[in-house]
Amino acid sequence: MNPVELAFAALVTATLGSLGGLGGAVLLVPVLVVAGVEPRLAAPLGLISVAAGSLAAAPRQLTDRVVNHRIGVSLEIAASAAALVGAVVSGVVSERLLSVVLGVVALAAAVVGARRKGMRNKPDPALSAADLGERPGTLAGVYPLDDGFVPYQAKRVPLGLLGMGAAGLIAGLSGVSGGFIKTPVTTEVMHVPVKVAAATTTFTVGITSAVALLVFASQGRVVPSDAALVAGASLVGGVIGARLQSVLSPPVVRLVLAGLLAVVGVVLLVRA
């Protein structure tokens, strides 16, 4: 894969990843593998893309008050610990097995993305701009939607923690960010609105990626020049994705992503 193709792939996947709150690695890593990059080298590049996209999307999402840091930090403890375990053992996992894991993960993400539902929480006319943001001491808050303000409360937290552990393990093992598991778990299991879940996941995948990247770097699996190229393109993609997130309909984005993931998953499984 030449540098222009690599930069373009990183730009597009980071844009889509930030847009849907799925991270970008689940798209970028399979694309790199299909293009001939070794999975053990593609995985760190995927995490660099996620970390860059997460950082780039943060300023806008903070300003929009759609991130719930309390939910993110609570769930990320399980995800980061599991990511650490996954990254440590990933060096001994065969490339064929890694391709199979990535293929299954991509297909699973496609199914989850396609099956996700619409709005569960409705705007409350009694709320105002003064109520926006997180509620201290709780896993609840209020986020803006069009001209209204929507209250929410995270539910079934233990089950959510379990899902985050699985997401973290996959992140460390395969080099994808786990965001495609985190966002559905946060919305469907914990009943957090998809916009908040996507922004919060974009925050937490940056943390998971940081932990796993340290391990990959210590294993000599990060190529600086390729990493810089991917980081630069993904920073641009993250900014674009965060802007698009606030204007496009989430169901449309999810369906497009699901289609992409299904194709990538089938290609990887056939190749493996």
Candidates 15-23, 106-114, 153-161, 199-207 — which segment interacts with another protein by CB under 8 A? 199-207
Report angle CA 180, 87, 75 to the nearest 5 degrees.
45
- Cα–Cα dist 229/247, whole Å: 28
CB of 23 to another protein, least distance (A): 13
Nearer to another protein, 130 or 252 (CB): 130
Closer CB to another protein, 23 or 103, in the complex = 23
Single-letter residue type at 140: A
Place of tokens 């959510």: 160
CB of 70 to another protein, least distance (A): 5
For another protein, the binding residues in 79-108 under the rule CB under 8 A are 80-81, 83-84, 88
CB contact burial 196-217 (16+ within 10 A = b; e otherwise): bbbbbbbbbbbbbbebbbebbe
From the list 247, 79, 240, 262, the residue with the least C-alpha distance to 172 is 79
The DSSP string of 5-29 is HHHHHHHHHHHHHHHHTS-SHHHHH
In the complex, what is the shortest distance from the CB of residue 218 to another protein, in angstroms, rounded to a whole number?
4
Q: Is 171 in the site for another protein (CB under 8 A)?
A: no
Residues 52 and 46: beta-carbon distance below 8 Å: no
Rounded to a whole number of angstroms, the minimum distance from the CB of residue 234 to another protein is 9
**How far apart are the two ends of the chain, measured CA to CA in Å?**
19
Q: How far is CA 138 from the centre of its chain?
A: 24
Q: C-beta of 123: minimal distance to another protein in Å?
A: 22
Site string for another protein, 211-250 (x = CB under 8 A): x-xxx-xx---x-xx-xxx-xx--xx--x-----------
Residue 209: HSE in the Cβ half-sphere, 13 Å Cα cutoff: 29
Using CB under 8 A, which of 22, 33, 43, 52 touches another protein? Answer: 52
Query: Which residue lies nearer to another protein by CB, 88 or 262?
Result: 88
Residue 6 phi, psi dihedral angles, 5° rounding:
-65, -45
Near another protein in 129-158, by CB under 8 A = 133, 136-137
Nearer to another protein, 35 or 228 (CB): 228
Of 56 and 112, which has the nearer Cβ to another protein?
56
- Can residue 41 be called a binding residue for another protein (CB under 8 A)? no
> How is residue 221 written in tokens?
């699996």
| Positions that interact with another protein (CB under 8 A) | 3, 48, 51-52, 54-56, 58-60, 62-63, 65, 69-70, 73-74, 76-77, 80-81, 83-84, 88, 133, 136-137, 203, 206-207, 209-211, 213-215, 217-218, 222, 224-225, 227-229, 231-232, 235-236, 239
